[in-house]
Amino acid sequence: MAFVVSSGQLAVTGAGVTPGYASMPLPPMPWEYETIWRTQPQVRTVIGFLARNIAQLGIHTFRRVSDTDRERLTDHPLARLLESPMPGMTTYRFVERMVSDIGVYDHWYGIKLKLDGQLRILPVPPSLIRPHGGNWIAPKYFETAGGRDFAVDEVVHIHGYSPDNLTVGSSPIESLRELLLESSEAARQRSQMWKGGARLTGVLKRPMDAPDWGNTEKQRFREMWRTFSQGGGAEGGTPILEDGMDYVPVGFNPEQAQYIEARKLTREEVSAAYFIPPPLIGILDHATYSNIKEQHAHLYQDTLGPWMVMLQQEIVAQILPDLPGNNDQVYCEFNIDAKLRGSFEEQAVAASTATGRPWMTVNETRARNNLPAIEGGDSLITPMNVTEGGLASPRDTAPDSAALPKARGLALVKSGRPADLGTVATEGDALATSLEKWTKRAADKLLAAAGAKASGMPDLLALWAAGSKDRIAQLEALLTDHGYRLAQVGAWDVLNEWNPDAEGWSADVMLAWILAAAGTHAEQHEEAGRKAVAAVQEKGGDGWREGLLGAAAAWGAAATLRAATATTELRSFGGHDAASASGLTKKVWRTGGRNPRPSHKAQDGEAVSLDDVFSNGLRWPGDGQGKTDELINCNCSLDYARGD
C-alpha cells in the first residue's frame, strides 16, 4: 500500500485547481461535461436527485459474525474514516461529491493521504486528474493538473463501464449530447425572441398595383417600422401599414415550437439515462397517488440500490485493505432501513400483529410525545380480546358473539311483511337491552383491567384506548343488526297503509345507510364512555375506583338514551324510504312522548314536501344530520300523504 504523506498542508498533493491544466494535452470532454452540468437544468436536477438521496443515508460499518448475525463497528478505522474523510468534510458532502462525479463524468478519484498518522481520502475533481499510460487493463500512473504524478495504489479510482477497456468509464451525458444540444439551441432561440420583445419574424407584402414610393416615402416607412420593431411593439407604438400592405409571419410561434413539451421531453430522456422514474423528479403527467407511493417504495431498491451496492463494494475493495487492525469480515453498508420500514403507523400494525399484543408501554408512547413517565406505565397492556376472546392479535376486530343478538330473519323481501318482525316498541326494547348489556360487559372489562394494575391509579385513558377499535367494531355490528330490523318496521308501517305489495321498494336499498348510521352511533357511544373515564382521570386521587364505578354507571345510562335516539332515527328513516318508493310527496311532523321539546311541540302538524326539511332543520325525527339537542330521546314520528 502507498500513501501521500502530508503534515496537514494539502497543497503538496499538486491536485489543486491550477491554470496550468488548460495547457495539458488532455481531451476536452471533461470540460464539456462540466459545462453541460452547469448550464443544463435537466442534467443538474437528475444528478442532484441521485446525489442528495444517497448522501442523506449515511454509511455504517459492520463485521459479519455469522450468516444470520452481524455487529456494528463504531470505532473501527473504516467507520472513523467514513465519518470524517477529510478534516472539516462531512460524510454527506463526501458521498454527494462521489455520486455527482460519477453521474457527470462516470469517474471518481480520491487521493490517499496520511494526515497525522491517520488515513484520509481527498476527493479530486475528475477534470483535474486522469489515468495515464499502461494498457487497457490498468494505467501506469495518474497525472494531475498540477504536474504531480501518483502511483496506482495511491489513488482510489471508481469508474463505470467502457466497451473497449477496464480503466475508464463513459459518461451518460455523452449519449445525451445531441438531445441537450437541441435543447440548448431552443433555449437560445427563446432568449432571442424575448429579447426582441417576443416579436415574431415575418415579411411585409405590398400589392402590385400600389403606387410607387419615392426615396422620401421609403425612408419614412423604414424609420417607422424600425422604431416599432426595436421597441418590441411596446415602446414603438402601433405600426401603420399603407397601400393595402400585409404582414406575413415567418417561423414558429411559442405554441408551435412546443417549448414546454420539448423541455419536458428532455428531462424525461435524462431521467431515463440515469434510470429514474419521471414522477420522482417532478414529471407528473401520468402520476397517481398509488404509483407515486409505489415508486417511492422502490426508490432505494431499484433506482438507488445499484448505486449503493457499487459504492459499498468499491470502498471495501480499494480503501479497507489500507486500514490497520483486524479487517476480516468487515464491510460497510448504506443505512436504508429507516427508508424501507414504512410509516410509523405501518410499522406499528406489523409489530402488533407479529407479537400478538401491544409492543409499546404507556411510558414509551408518552416519551415519543415528550410527556413525562407515569407510575405503572412501564408494563405492556394485553387487551381483553386477546386474553379472553381467544383472538390471535389485538388488531382482530371480530365482534363478540355473546354481545350480538342471534340472527332473526333478516331476509330481503320484495313484498309481504316478514313474520318475525315485531313492533317499534318491541324492537326498540330489544336494541336497548342488547346495548345496555354490551355496555355493562365492556365497562366490567375496563374495571378488571384497571384493578389488575398497581395500587396507584393507572393511566385510565390508555387502558380505554387499548380496546377502543374493538369496541367500536362490536358496536357497529350490534347496531346494524337491530337497526336493519327497526328500519324495516318503520318501512312496513308506511307500506301497510300506502303500498301493501311493497311495489318498487326493497329492504336491501336501506342497508348502506344503516351501516353508516351504525358507525356514527357507535363512535358517539364510545366517545360518551371516554369522556366519563377522562373525568375520573382528571380528578385523580385515592377515590378513582369509586369514580370509575360511577363512570360505568353513567355510560350505562347513556346506552339507554342512545338506544332510544337510534330507534327513532332508524324507524323514521325506514318510513321515509318506503314513502319515497311509494310515490308519497308530503310528510307531517307528529310530536310524541310525555315531555316533548318546546320546539317539537310547536311544530306538531307542520307539513312539508317529502324532500324538504322541517323548521328545526331535520328531515325526520332523530335525523343524524341535525343538532344533538334536537335528537336525544326524541319520540316524534311522521305521517305521509300524496299531494295534489
Is 175 found in the same domain as 135?
yes
CA 11 vs CA 110, 119, 275, 385: distances in Å:
15, 17, 38, 71
C-alpha cell at 562: 342512545
Last residue of a domain, one of 547, 566, 583: 583
Query: Under a CB-based contact definition with an 8 Å cutoff, are residues 75 and 47 in contact?
Result: no
All 3 cell numbers of residue 644? 295534489
**488 and 578 belong to one structural domain:** yes
User: 359: number of CA atoms within 13 Å, CB side?
Assistant: 14
Task: Say how many Å lie between the first and final Cα of the chain, rounded.
Answer: 104
The amino acid at 486 = L
Residues 245 and 286 in one domain: no
d(Cα 622, Cα 629) in Å, to the nearest integer?
10
Provide the 10 A C-beta neighbour count for residue 241: 13
pLDDT at 344: 59
Say which residue the cell 346495548 belongs to: 435
The single-letter DSSP state of residue 11 is G
547 & 482 share domain: yes
Assess if residue 148 is contained within a domain: yes
**Domain tally, the chain:** 4
Q: Calculate the CA 141 to chain-centre distance.
A: 50
Least confident of 11-25, 57-71, 170-184, 519-533: 11-25
pLDDT of residue 15: 46
Q: How many CB atoms lie within 10 A of CB 415?
A: 12
Rg of the chain over Cα atoms, rounded to whole angstroms, equals 40
Domain boundary among 536, 565, 583: 583
| Three-state secondary-structure class, residue 249 | strand
Mean pLDDT of the region 203-219: 83
Residue 389 is predicted with a pLDDT of 45
pLDDT for 78 beyond 90: yes
Which residue range(s) make up the domain with 206? Answer: 183-257
Per mean pLDDT, which range of 44-48, 123-127, 418-422 is the poorest?
Answer: 418-422
Residue 262 counted as domain residue: no
Lowest-confidence pick of 247-256, 463-472, 477-486, 583-592: 247-256
Would you say the C-alpha torsion 313, 314, 317, 321 has a positive or negative sign?
negative
> Looking at the structure, do residues 229 and 322 belong to the same domain, yes or no?
no
Classify residue 408: in a domain, yes or no.
Answer: no
Whose cell is 318498487? That residue is 504
In terms of domains, do 171 and 243 share one?
no
Amino acid identity for residue 198 in this structure:
A
> pLDDT value at position 372?
86
**Could you tell me which of 529, 593, 533 has the C-alpha nearest to residue 557?**
529
Assigned domain for 314 exists: yes
Same domain, 224 and 335: no
- pLDDT of 234 above 80: no
155-175 burial code (b ≥16 CB/10 A, e <16) = bbbbbbeeeeeebbbbbbbee
Position 89 pLDDT exceeds 90: yes
Contacts of 566 (CB under 8 A, 6+ apart): 431, 479, 482, 483, 486, 517, 521, 622
Q: 157 has which bridge partners?
A: 109
Report DSSP state, residue 86. S
Q: Residue 412 domain-assigned? A: no
CA atoms of 119 and 617, how far apart (whole Å): 79
* 407 found inside a domain: no
Coil/strand/helix, residue 30: helix
**Beta-strand (E) ranges in 436-478?**
none
Claim to verify: residue 157 and residue 68 sit in the same structural domain: yes
Q: Is residue 496 part of a domain?
A: yes
Kindly report the number of other CB atoms within 10 A of residue 10's CB atom: 17
Residue 624 has φ and ψ, to the nearest 5°, of: -65, -15
Write the CB contacts of 139 (distance below 8 Å, at least 6 apart in sequence): 131, 132, 133, 152, 167
Between CA 250 and CA 224 the distance in angstroms is 21
Question: Are the beta carbons of 68 and 62 closer than 8 angstroms?
Answer: no
Closest of 78, 82, 89, 97 to residue 158, by C-alpha: 97
The reply to whether 150 and 217 lie within a common domain is no
Q: What is the pLDDT of residue 620?
A: 81
Q: Is residue 537 part of a domain?
A: yes
Residues 509 and 446 in one domain: yes
Give the whole-angstrom CA distance, residue 416 versus residue 488.
Answer: 11
The answer to whether residue 24 scores a pLDDT higher than 50 is no
Cell 496506482 found at: 152
Residues 24, 148 within the same domain = yes
Residues 295, 291: Cα–Cα separation, whole Å: 6
Q: Considering the chain, what percentage of its residues have pLDDT values greater than 90?
A: 21
Assess contact for 274 and 103: CB atoms under 8 A: yes
pLDDT band at 106 (very low <50, low <70, confident <90, very high): very high
What are the backbone angles phi and psi of residue 380, rounded to the nearest 5°?
Answer: -75, 140
> CA-to-CA distance for 125 and 52, rounded, in angstroms?
18
572: confidence class by pLDDT, cuts 50, 70, 90? confident
- Residue 366, pLDDT score: 80
- Which sign does the torsion angle of CA 233, 236, 238, 244 carry? negative
- Interval 287-309 mean pLDDT: 72
221 and 192 in one domain?
yes
Q: What is the DSSP letter of 562?
A: H
Locate 175 and state its grid cell.
449519449
The whole-angstrom separation of Cα 151 and Cα 142 is 6
d(CA 571, CA 560): 17
CA dist list (Å): 632 to 17, 423, 532, 564, 629: 82, 21, 18, 8, 6
Q: 192: pLDDT confidence band, cut at 50, 70 and 90?
A: low
CA 588, CA 614: separation in Å to the nearest integer? 9
What angle, 0 to 180 degrees and rounded to 10, lies between the N-to-C axes of helices 544-581 and 511-539?
160
Domain boundary among 566, 583, 600: 583
